[in-house]
Amino acid sequence: QLQLQESGPGLVKPSETLSLTCTVSGGSISSSSYYWGWIRQPPGKGLEWIGSIYYSGSTYYNPSLKSRVTIFVDTSMSQFSLTLSSVTAADTAVYFCARHPTLHRVGLLGPYYVDVWGNGTTVTVSS
Amino acid sequence: QSALTQPASVSGSPGQSITISCTGTSSDVGGYNYVSWYQQHPGKAPKLMIYDVSNRPSGVSNRFSGSKSGNTASLTISGLQAEDEADYYCSSYTSSTSVLFGGGTKLTVL
């Protein structure tokens, strides 16, 4: 059974770069059937999609975060990672990594629903 | 892109049925049959309840059902149980190859 586990610092200073890694176990990160993504949830608020990556390296980002986000994949380590630059207090959130099936069968690119979620990791932006 | 619109809260008594709406545009909900719904209990990761508008993953109770009309999708929970009390989020594929979530709805079982 596929599992996702987030890891990374729980505290980041304002203006610095947030970096998180998700380790995939129980399945292949190189599967052509899935994208791998990041979703966050500020305290007391709703879910926000950050971005997703295909094993080949193709990326899709939330337009509102695109200028600050990079997602990359390391298939040899079965990991994918998120960096978010120039963080502020507004970036304080629980960050989830996720698996999305593809829509390639109908000729559409990009991720859609999430069928597997990590447990989430809390990141606080504070000096 | 703005979040999909959901009511902030809904409530119902045990055994009753409730419906949560999720309104988008022709670029997301209305344009594709790729709406999904998630249940989230406090302090937990979301759980997929419905995908492709009306499909239930294995293991999800058939008390949960989904539908769509135009730019609005709906999640119906029948035979409400105390354990259904949670936050519910809709999500849709969009024409800009992105994922859009709703603002979330808090379900209270009275």
Closest chain A C-alpha to B36 CA, distance in angstroms:
6
Q: How many CB atoms lie within 10 A of CB B84?
A: 20
| Per-residue tens of pLDDT for chain B, all 110 residues | 789 999 999 999 999 999 999 999 999 999 999 999 999 999 999 999 999 999 999 999 999 999 999 999 999 999 999 999 999 999 999 988 889 999 999 999 99
Minimum Cα–Cα distance from A104: chain B residue: B97
The per-residue pLDDT for range A36-66, each reduced to its tens digit, is: 999 999 999 999 999 999 999 999 999 999 9
Closest CA to A36 of A92, A64, A93, A77: A77
Spatial distance between the Cα atoms of B70 and B68, rounded to a whole number of angstroms: 7
Contact status, residue B90 vs residue B73, Cβ threshold 8 Å: yes
Question: Are the C-beta atoms of A2 and A22 separated by less than 8 Å?
Answer: no
Residue A72 near chain B (CB below 8 Å)? no
Residues 50-89 of B with CB under 8 A from A: 51-52, 57, 89
B100 and chain A in contact, CB less than 8 A: yes
